[in-house]
Structure 1
Amino acid sequence: MAEAMTADLRHSEARQKKLNRALRLLSDCNMALVHAEHEHALLNEICRLCVERGGYLMAWVGYAEEDEAKAVRPIAQSGYENGYLDGIRITWADTELGQGPTGTAIRTGLPGVNQNVLTHPGMAPWREAAIQRGYRSSISLPLIGDTKVLGALTMYAREAQAFDPEEIRLLEELASDLAYGIVTLRTRAEHEAAKEKLAFLAQFDPLTHLPNRLLLRDRFEHAAQGAQGEHSTMAVLYLDLDNFKQINESFGHEAGDKVLVSAVERLQHCILATDTLCRLNGDEFVILLAEPQNASGIVAVANAIHDVFSEPVVVDGNPLNLSFSVGISVFPADGSDFDTLLKCADAAVESAKIAGRNTYRFFTQEMNADLQEQMRLSGELNRAVRQDEFQLHFQPQVDLRTGWITGVEALVRWQHPVDGMIPPARFIPLAERSGHIVQIGQWVLNEACRQARAWMDHGLPPLVVAVNLSAVQFKRGNVLEMVSSALASTGLPANCLELELTESILLQDSVSTMETLRGLKALGAKLSIDDFGTGYSSLSYLKQLDVDKLKIDQSFVRDILADGDSASIVKAIIQLGHTLQLEVIAEGVETDAELAFLRASDCDAAQGYLFSRPVTAELFEKLVRNGVRWPA
């Protein structure tokens, strides 16, 4: 009797000791989770703790592969293994190699317990190897993250019947915490990668990794300051790849991208390290020759560009003859600011094309026909403002989860008495330069608010109307007073007005601008960042400003199916927006395939020709009143 009681007591003490050890292991692993920064290091640390603190003979983590064989890939291990993981094949398929504790745990999402290697039927393929290493029992715990089994944590004990129910419960808790840690680290890594990518894209082209327009402008400003002080010259070379459209149409956009990358490699040989080669857009590049230049030096670079393409570029086995039309403007003779020099060089490119392409032309005043046309329109803007020649068209914004129209963007058009309907791309830049954008912008805001209020009075559900704000309005107009007045005079609720901020507004980085933006939020208006991902300031101000929405630029949407970088950018913007609890909308959606990609990426809303072109207020009202809904 006494001996039985003593044996029971010893058994109870041993059991309690094991539970205490498991509890300490759980505590130590949770501490490791709290301090973890990298996934692989965390897995190695957990395996080490299982062996050193938990007293298990060996521990390893395997991830479930989504391949045809449904293999389990060892990721981390600690303890006495002696080549065990190298010599075994484990799957999570419902086959003989998937009936062990690890495969079963991954396949079922439940712990796989092997209390005795000698008798467990599922251990047959690995029994001999396990016995040789002293493994007598084992447990595999599924790592379940975001409702998906990521893999399993497997531990081996020296003795049979090593895992009682209470210990299994504690180990399940450990595995659950580990899975949460893995998901958290992956999410954190994805967010960091997204931020890094957006920071890179702020200044560089994703395909060629060349500086973009923003970085080129910055380098020009610095170089111009030095050139002015030394009374020296610089040159801007505008390069247009000849017949690139034909290459895209004949060989496809993927081949076209390879052509651009190959062209950039050759162009780099034509310039000095102090010069800047920039991808402006599509097949257009700009070279800034920042060192003091005379005409012969500039011509030497233009000739080098001609000569470097004397041999064809081979893409996917196809030899392609490439050439560039080059337009050249000179600082300060043709202009002292970036925009003027770029326009002059662009005008010179057209002259090079007329001359037969594959050549260069310096800018001359005779090339000013286009500039004169712009001046004509600029002069007529004043009359257009006075005589109410502007109209608003409205483009629906669609909730991708429900298919219903939930918002609308107000877009201004100019009904010219002679030229007809002039699109905003032609006159908005002119209006910004001339200052007329302040008056036009005020009219657009008042008219958009009035129309949105009228729709409500006609019985339509409240819709958010989006209105673009220009950087010039912030510089020259009282934006806060203008918005407040428009809301008060029309009776539109402030939460039905969304103000789209361009990157150039955030670039101003002035105290007054930031105060105005905070004042707009205080009114109750919504704020969104237009064309997000094309500039660098938005990212830094997202946390400072109480922004409601990010708008993905149509240039990214247009290329999501053909360009892996654009697809990654779109996903990164959506992920970043949701992390910051912002709504994300994509503009320029034109195909069902683009829409499917955005839905699969969890984008909140979209607008574009696929849903509707910008239409008059009357047609938009009919769309809403008729209950037009796109399949969700």
Structure 2
Amino acid sequence: MKNNIEFNIDTLSNKNQIYNSLFEIGRDFDAIDSIRKAFVYLDIDNFRYINSTIGHLRGNLVISKIHEILTNTLLSWKFGKGKAYRVNADEFILIIYDFKNLSWLDRSIGEMLKNIKKDPWFESLGIFVTLSAGISINKVNGSNIYDLLPKADTALYCAKIRGKDRHQFYSDHMSKSVYEEIDMSHKIRTAINANIFEMHYQPIVSTKPGTLVGLEALIRWKDHEEGYIPPARFIPIAEKTGQMKSIEKLVIDSVFLQVKQWIDKKDAPLFVSINLSPEGLVQQHIIPFLEDMKEKYQFPPEKIQFEITETAMIRNEIYVLQTLNCIKQMGFRISLDDFGTGYSSINYLRVLPIDKVKLDKSFLLSIENDPKNQEIVETVIDLCHKLKLEVIAEGVETESQRAYLIDIGCDYIQGYLFSKPLNSEEISKWIAETYFK
């Protein structure tokens, strides 16, 4: 029996084309005489990043190593049996049978994925490897692989949506959410091609003497059918479908153009902040693009501040750090966003080439009457100042929050107390009326 079957899979919506290539796997599945059989669809998370960082040759070695680990793990099980197949580069299929029960299967697949993640061979390459998996059960979700494959595929897609690095059993309610995701992906592609995203800007104000120092650029999308679609809904899908690169370039180009126009009118804020995606930082395609933007618009790079989150560092710290150092050397400023919501923030203050830290708005929810929260905020601000970093508190909504932050020495504040995010025309008017009257 061959154990390495190659075929092409492009997107979830067109995977029907592979079914004709599944004859051998289907024959093996049908030949297994067992009451308990499961079909597992696995995918390497962020494999494009891995290929871009270590190259295609080593990327192929990663795939072979994972296939080897899967095969050896199945052979080592005492309460279950299985066969592993490699399909379409970074995807695998497992047939698991004679397993003890569903609880054992759930636990065993989880341990399998965890062991792959912890394998020292990947660490020796300087990469972090995780897999996601979707599982369908024979006689519960279907009776042959042509029934079970699309349902395992749907479960895999849901595992990706929920954060990757996990496995998911199929359930009937999943199908609707998956097709909604596919529909949103098509809408995003149309919006990119038509360039209908727009930028809104929210003021960042100095606590002393209370003047405008910058703006944060925030993407907005008004769909002709649904109206405004929040970024929290479309950004994760754009990242999963590889469309974030195009969106990010549209955002940067739009903001650079706006900053250039403000500079020409001599009413520009000191800086405009742009959020950078983890994809751009890991793949490093952002560097040549920023060089082109500098050449195109010809204004001081310190007018632009890029915001990053810890999520990017978790994906591949080495390459993200390299990208950030390049951005810094080009003259742009960098801030660490959502500080305090992750697990390694303190260490990142030490290693990242950052200028500012944005204190997450969750710290301000009970800042006036929560002594413990006050201690945390004051300690963070004191630590940042000792490290020569400035602090921006976001989510400021009340005068009492503002007064408290001024009293403890926070450098900048941002929030609805001053203004909601406004489009370029509205923010220009707001600036003129508020700070240049």
TM-score range, shorter chain: 0.5 to 0.7
| 1:154-189 per-position Cα deviation (integer Å, ceiling 9, x unaligned) | xxxxxxxxxxxxxxxxxxxxxxxxxxxxxxxxxxxx
Q: Are the equivalent residues in 2 in contact too, given 1:557–1:589 (CA < 8 A)?
A: yes
Deviation at 1:569, TM superposition (A): 2.6
Deviation at 1:524, TM superposition (A): 0.8
- Range 490-499 or range 541-550, more displaced: 541-550
Query: Corresponding residue for 1:312?
Result: none
Query: Corresponding residue for 1:373?
Result: 180
Query: Corresponding residue for 1:327?
Result: none
Q: Are the equivalent residues in 2 in contact too, given 1:469–1:499 (CA < 8 A)?
A: yes
1:442 and 2:249 correspond: yes
1:620 and 2:427 correspond: yes
Distance 1:297 1:601, change over 3 A: farther
Q: Are the equivalent residues in 2 in contact too, given 1:452–1:463 (CA < 8 A)?
A: no
Cα distance in structure 1, aligned partners of 2:286 and 2:160: 28
1:533 and 2:344 correspond: no
Distance 1:341 1:471, change over 3 A: closer
Cα distance in structure 2, aligned partners of 1:422 and 1:567: 35
| 1:567-588 per-position Cα deviation (integer Å, ceiling 9, x unaligned) | 3332222111111011100111
Query: Corresponding residue for 1:424?
Result: 231
Deviation at 1:445, TM superposition (A): 0.8
Query: Corresponding residue for 1:489?
Result: 296
Distance 1:562 1:439, change over 3 A: farther
1:399 and 2:202 correspond: no
Cα distance in structure 1, aligned partners of 2:299 and 2:159: 39
Q: Are the equivalent residues in 2 in contact too, given 1:507–1:537 (CA < 8 A)?
A: no
Unpaired segments of 5 or more residues in structure 1?
1-224, 233-291, 300-329, 349-361
Cα distance in structure 2, aligned partners of 1:293 and 1:448: 58
SS of the aligned residue for 1:610 comes to: coil
Cα distance in structure 2, aligned partners of 1:599 and 1:443: 36
Deviation at 1:423, TM superposition (A): 1.5
Decide which of 171, 179, 189 is 1:364's aligned counterpart. Answer: 171
Cα distance in structure 1, aligned partners of 2:386 and 2:158: 37
Cα distance in structure 2, aligned partners of 1:423 and 1:404: 29
Query: Corresponding residue for 2:359?
Result: 552
Deviation at 1:394, TM superposition (A): 0.4
Query: Corresponding residue for 1:601?
Result: 408
SS of the aligned residue for 1:603 comes to: coil
Deviation at 1:340, TM superposition (A): 3.7
TM-score (norm 1): 0.44
Q: Are the equivalent residues in 1 in contact too, given 2:356–2:391 (CA < 8 A)?
A: yes
Distance 1:294 1:555, change over 3 A: farther
Cα distance in structure 1, aligned partners of 2:292 and 2:418: 33
| 1:221-270 per-position Cα deviation (integer Å, ceiling 9, x unaligned) | xxxx99996558xxxxxxxxxxxxxxxxxxxxxxxxxxxxxxxxxxxxxx
SS of the aligned residue for 2:173 comes to: helix
Query: Corresponding residue for 1:569?
Result: 376
Cα distance in structure 1, aligned partners of 2:286 and 2:100: 44
Query: Corresponding residue for 1:505?
Result: 312
* Equivalent residue letter for 1:451: Q
| 1:495-534 per-position Cα deviation (integer Å, ceiling 9, x unaligned) | 1110101112222344433222111111111010011111
Query: Corresponding residue for 1:580?
Result: 387
Cα distance in structure 2, aligned partners of 1:610 and 1:226: 55
1:389 and 2:176 correspond: no
| Higher RCO by CA contacts (8 Å cutoff, separation 6 or greater) | 2
| 1:454-505 per-position Cα deviation (integer Å, ceiling 9, x unaligned) | 1111120442000000111123451111122212211221011101011122
Unpaired segments of 5 or more residues in structure 2?
1-67, 78-98, 107-132, 137-151
Deviation at 1:564, TM superposition (A): 4.3
Q: Are the equivalent residues in 1 in contact too, given 2:184–2:234 (CA < 8 A)?
A: yes
- In the TM superposition, 1:99-118 aligns within 5 A as none
TM-score (norm 2): 0.62
Q: Are the equivalent residues in 2 in contact too, given 1:331–1:341 (CA < 8 A)?
A: no
Q: Are the equivalent residues in 1 in contact too, given 2:282–2:316 (CA < 8 A)?
A: no
Distance 1:564 1:341, change over 3 A: farther
SS of the aligned residue for 1:543 comes to: helix
Q: Are the equivalent residues in 2 in contact too, given 1:450–1:492 (CA < 8 A)?
A: no
| 1:559-610 per-position Cα deviation (integer Å, ceiling 9, x unaligned) | 4245544333322221111110111001111222222222222111111111
Distance 1:568 1:373, change over 3 A: farther
Cα distance in structure 1, aligned partners of 2:218 and 2:243: 16
Distance 1:566 1:435, change over 3 A: farther
Query: Corresponding residue for 2:287?
Result: 480
Cα distance in structure 1, aligned partners of 2:161 and 2:433: 51
Cα distance in structure 2, aligned partners of 1:619 and 1:598: 27
1:459 and 2:270 correspond: no
Cα distance in structure 1, aligned partners of 2:104 and 2:231: 40
Query: Corresponding residue for 1:522?
Result: 329
Q: Are the equivalent residues in 2 in contact too, given 1:552–1:586 (CA < 8 A)?
A: yes
SS of the aligned residue for 1:611 comes to: coil
Query: Corresponding residue for 1:86?
Result: none
Cα distance in structure 2, aligned partners of 1:296 and 1:537: 33
Cα distance in structure 2, aligned partners of 1:481 and 1:597: 42
* Equivalent residue letter for 2:273: A
| 1:91-129 per-position Cα deviation (integer Å, ceiling 9, x unaligned) | xxxxxxxxxxxxxxxxxxxxxxxxxxxxxxxxxxxxxxx
Q: Are the equivalent residues in 2 in contact too, given 1:438–1:476 (CA < 8 A)?
A: no
Cα distance in structure 2, aligned partners of 1:581 and 1:293: 58
Query: Corresponding residue for 1:138?
Result: none
RMSD (Å) for aligned C-alpha atoms: 3.2
Give the number of the structure whose alpha-carbon radius of gyration is greater: 1
Distance 1:541 1:627, change over 3 A: same
Cα distance in structure 1, aligned partners of 2:158 and 2:174: 18
* Equivalent residue letter for 2:222: Q
* Equivalent residue letter for 1:584: V
- Range 584-593 or range 476-485, more displaced: 476-485
Cα distance in structure 2, aligned partners of 1:513 and 1:343: 20
